[in-house]
Every structure is written in C-alpha cells, then in structure tokens.
Amino acid sequence: MATLNDASGSDVDREVQTDAPEFIDTARHSPSRKRSSSTRPMTETGERLVEELDAQDVEYLFGYPGGRVIEVLDYIPESDVTMVRPRDEREASIMAEVYGRITGEPGVLAGQGPWIGSLGAIGQMEGRLASSPMVVITEASERGDYSTLAPYQQARGDYGGLDLPSALDAYTKEHWFPRSPTETIRSLQLAFKHATAGRSGPTAVILDGDAVSEEMPTDPVPPVWDGHDQVQNWEARPDAGDVGTAVDALADADRPVIVAGNGVHSAGAYDELATVAEATDAIVTTSYLGKSTFPETHERAAGVIGSFGHEGANQVVSEADVLLVVGSRLNPMDTNWQAPSFIRPDEQTIIHADIDTRNAGWVYPADVALIGDATQSLADLAEALPDDVENDWALDRAAEAKASFDAPECESDASPIKPQRAVTEIEAIVDEDTIVTADSGNNRFWLLNYLQAPDTGTYYGSGGVGSMGWATPAAVSAAITTDRDVIGVAGDGGFTMTMTSVETAVEHGVAPTFVVLNDTSLGMVRQMQDDDGDIAGVEFHDTDFVKAAEAFGAEATRAVTPDELADALETGTASDVPFVIDARIDREEEMVETLQSSFYEQVGGLHE
C-alpha cells in the first residue's frame, strides 16, 4: 500500500499496481474505429481514463491533485498530456475555461470534489455563461463503507456530507456520476461530446470509489465505443426558408447593422462574418463578449454596444432599419437595460442567428431566426445574398461612430496616469499576434472603449459571470497554450485575488505581461459613493506588487507617468520572463460619468 496526502491534508490510501499491462491503441484514428473494450487487455480505470484523454487529443490538464483524482494523475506523466498546476482550483478553472474559449476545444479541469465545487466554480460559471467548452474531472471524496457515518469531506450528496452533484448541476451543462469502470469511461466520452454539442459549455464527471480504482472489464456489456466515434458532433444549419426571409430583409435594408456576439468567437466564424458584412454593406458592432470578433480598425467597425460601450456603436444600432444579431443573447448590459429608444422591435426588422433556438427572440421579438452554428448561418446568408447590395450610409456612418474610441484624456501627460492614457499605451503595443485579457471592473470598461482590437481573437474579457481575478490566470493560460504575446490587464483588486498565477507562468517558462491599473481601491464600487466612506470595504492597502512579482520569480516595475508606462510595456513585452507593471492611475477619473451611454442614462444609470 502507498499512502498519499490529498489537497486538504488527509491521507488517501490506494494500491499502486506497478505491473499493469500497457495498452496502446494504435488504431483509434484508423478508418475502422468502432472498437469496444472487448479488444483491450485488463487495464486500471485511471489508466484507461488517461488513454481516453490522449484519444481526445487533450494537450493540457489544468488542476490540483487531491482525492480520487490522484488515480488519474498517477498516469499523466506517461501520457501526451501536460499538467498545469497553479496554486489553487480557482486559477486552474479559469485557465481551463480560457483554453476552451480560445481554442474551441474543451479545456480540462481536474481536482478534488469539495474544492472543484467551490474554488473551482469560478471558471465553470464563466464557462457556462460565456459558452466555453470544458470537461471537469472531479470526485466525491467518498470513503466507501464510511460514507454514511458522519463522513469527512464526503460530497456525494448523502446525509451528513456535501451535495457536489447539485452544485455542479448549477453551472455545468451536464454531469455524470458513474458507478462502474465502464460507466466512468463512457461518461468521460459523453462529457467531451456534450461540451461542444450545440451551445458549448462545461460538463463534469464525478469519479466514485470503485468506479475509478477497479480494473476495466475486458468484455463490457454494454460496450465502450472508440472515443473518436462516440464524441463526434455535427453542425446545425438554419432552415432555407428562414435564410431566404433574412436575405430579403438585408437586401432591402437602407441602414443594416450587425451585432456580433460571443457565438462568433465560439464558432470561429470570423471570415464568414466579414463576408456577410461586405455582402450586406453593413456596419458591424459587437457585444461585450463579442469584442474582437471583427477588427475594430476595419472601416465597417463601430465598436461595442451596451451601457458602458461606445456611444457611436449604440447610436448606429438605434438608427438601423435592419439588425442582424449573431451569437448574442442580448443581455441587459448589451441592451442598455432595454432603454425604450435603443432597440425597437416595432420599428426595426430583427434577424436573430443563434445556435440555441431558446435564445433567438428571447429578449426582443425577432422577425426571423436562423437556428444553427454561426459559421453555417453566416455562410448560408453570404451564398444567398445578391451581388448588388449597397447603400450610401454604412461606411460614412461607421467612420463617424469611431470617434468614440478616442478622448482628450488619451493624450494626457498627467501623473498619476489617466486610465484612458494607460489604455492608449497598451494599445500601442498590441498587434494582430497579441492577446489581451481583461478583468472585471472599471479596467474592463476603459479597455472596451479605448483599445481598438486590431484583429479577430485579440481581446477576451471576463463577461460571462464577470468574476474579478479572471484576467491574470487567463493571460497565463493563453501564454502557455498559444505562441502569441499576451497582456493581462486587471485592477489592483482583481490582480491580488489571483496573482499567484504569475508563479505558474514562471514555472512553465512563458512570459506574459501583466498591467495592474492600480488605484488602491475597489474602484468601480468606490465611485458609487456619494461621499467618501459611504460604502464599507472599498479601500485597499497599498500593496508592493513589484516585490510580490519578484518573489514569484518574475520581473516588475512601477509606472507613475505615461512615459514610464510606455517604457515598461516595451520592456515587459520584450522580456523572456513574466513582467508585472504596477501602473498608478488617477483614481478620481469617474468611469460611469465618462463612459455610460445616453441610452443607459434614460433608464436611470448604474444597475451593474
């Protein structure tokens, strides 16, 4: 027997089988793939789970060892999977979510049940609302025959324990709690399938006692099919009649406007979106999560809609006679909290394209819905549109709308640094090969407004559930899993929550740049006060982020002037180790007063 220590300090006993037969499925990608476990020699279930991860071409597993998940992690070193182990499950969950969001393939999260269901809930909730595919491998910390005797850590839902299945049910698309080795492998395959079927999101498998520690049967009934065949999905496309109705409306439009949402990111439908924009002679706006689905430097781009989006983008949506909404549910922030003069279904034709029929026409009645993958819906539109669609409005109006990307403060030399000027300096080093990750809070809205995304897939923000602390592990994940330059931007509050992710970047030899827009406070909430001291808990200790970063093995500097920030960004992006910039910003620059849209003011202001 070998005794291991789990994440919470309790001993986990398990047998270590050193002579388990090795099985390599060399035919899993061959034409005759429909093979079952009847052809396999006896294999430990944990080993078979890792074989399945290899079969699903999993590159990275983000997680933290503990509980029954150790049965799986025991076989990772011999696999093609790279484990990324940050300092806690929250950071791991965000890293997995971001991998899913950027690649479109499920990000794999693994860890002990009580912590995956609590700390690790952050990334799963973001993934659920931001449509990021994830597969969560966790366990119930059951104790066999002791599970009903006032159990320690037990999370399978029995009396006296925690109810992990119910917790996972709140923020995953589907979850499985298999009770046998055969069910365990099949459940993992189905988790991968459902993570990307329809609207993407997180799925989970809860490992249970013997179901992961026993050996796989050699001839299971029902069988476990080859993972490639079991996990296949097929793209949905819209009804041809609905496409025809949408084409007629777009072809006759005088002021067509597209609202591109996160569904375009999820589908990778960037080229199709650009083609339809040209074919319809339309202006392109985006939702918050849709930012960088279309280059904001493009002549047709008008910016981000919503309560703290671009005034120019909001105005063109209001002026449109035909709106094509692609891959956006149109949440309250997108719709200016349904300001009556913003989107008007009784005056505008609304075409709503979405993978989920429940989302089309959910917030505003739609005239026609295109139900299917965004790539297919846009491709079908492009193919059916006539060649001579044009108007005299779109390009000139988009150019006018772009004025919202600029403000006099973007050129200010003041110290502390104006947040608008800070974003201008960040924008100066962002190119088509850069990824920017943005946290929740004031920093996100400054970035949304004054950073023009130069290409598709260059900006991602915390905007599903909108958790603080997202941007830093998100940047680390992007740096580890892509070959692109990465800049993570957060306020001092959000950065402090997950700054141990900097150490993970050091360990994996990647060099993202982290910009802390530091106002020594919870800025967005502090600025809601009528007078100083009205709201408790908004002021922070002035943390020395330079020393903290250096303690993790990174390099760092403090910038209090725009020139110092520009120099620091040049140094940071050229560094071969992670680089943290403590940028001191003007805490008196009011975000809401500066950025709230005129439509948002109509409904009374701050709801966030």
* Residue 3, H or E segment: strand 2-5
One domain, residues 322 and 410: no
Torsion of CA 284, 287, 288, 291, to 10 degrees: -30
- The answer to whether position 30 is within a domain reads no
- The answer to whether position 294 is within a domain reads yes
Listed residues 172, 196, 231: the one ending a domain: 231
Write out the residue range of the structural domain in which residue 591 sits: 406-602
φ and ψ at residue 322, rounded to 5 degrees = -130, 125
Q: What is the pLDDT of residue 607?
A: 54
Listed residues 178, 207, 231: the one ending a domain: 231
CA atoms of 112 and 119, how far apart (whole Å) = 11
- Which residue(s) pair with 13 in the sheet? 3
CA atoms of 301 and 277, how far apart (whole Å) = 10
- The answer to whether position 31 is within a domain reads no
One domain, residues 425 and 387: no
* Residue 551, H or E segment: helix 545-551
Listed residues 231, 261, 281: the one ending a domain: 231
Ramachandran area for residue 337 (φ above 0: left; ψ -120 to 50: alpha; else beta): left
One domain, residues 468 and 550: yes
φ and ψ at residue 458, rounded to 5 degrees = -105, -5
- The answer to whether position 213 is within a domain reads yes
Q: What is the pLDDT of residue 483?
A: 95
Residue 561 DSSP SS3: coil
- The answer to whether position 419 is within a domain reads yes
Task: Judge contact between 111 and 92, C-beta under 8 A.
Answer: yes
- The answer to whether position 34 is within a domain reads no
- Which residue(s) pair with 304 in the sheet? 286
The per-residue b/e assignment along 581-596, b for 16 or more CB within 10 angstroms, e otherwise, is bbbbbbbebebbebbb
* Structural domain count of the chain: 3
Of residues 25, 204, 172, the one with CA closest to residue 108: 204
Residue type, 359: N
One domain, residues 355 and 445: no
Q: Which token pair is 310? A: 């671009």
Of residues 194, 203, 195, the one with CA closest to residue 172: 203
One domain, residues 484 and 530: yes
Low-confidence ranges of the chain (pLDDT < 70): 1-42, 606-608
What CATH number does residue 311 fall under? 3.40.50.1220
One domain, residues 222 and 325: no
- pTM for this entry: 0.91
One domain, residues 190 and 281: no
One domain, residues 557 and 596: yes
Q: Which token pair is 374? A: 């965004």
CA atoms of 288 and 552, how far apart (whole Å) = 33
One domain, residues 267 and 222: no
Task: Judge contact between 499 and 447, C-beta under 8 A.
Answer: no
Of residues 98, 266, 145, 277, the one with CA closest to residue 197: 266
One domain, residues 273 and 206: no
Sign of the torsion formed by the C-alpha atoms of 395, 397, 403 and 404? negative
CA atoms of 440 and 466, how far apart (whole Å) = 6
- The answer to whether position 32 is within a domain reads no
CA atoms of 387 and 404, how far apart (whole Å) = 32
Q: Which token pair is 238? A: 């819209």
What CATH number does residue 221 fall under? 3.40.50.970
Residue type, 554: A
Residue 137 DSSP SS3: strand
One domain, residues 276 and 168: no
- Which residue(s) pair with 107 in the sheet? 134
349-354 and 368-371 strand pairing: parallel
One domain, residues 469 and 387: no
| Neighbouring C-beta atoms of residue 536, cutoff 10 Å | 6
φ and ψ at residue 428, rounded to 5 degrees = -65, -25
CA atoms of 76 and 53, how far apart (whole Å) = 9
**Spatial CB neighbours of 560, under 8 Å, sequence gap ≥ 6:** 415, 416, 417, 584
- The answer to whether position 470 is within a domain reads yes
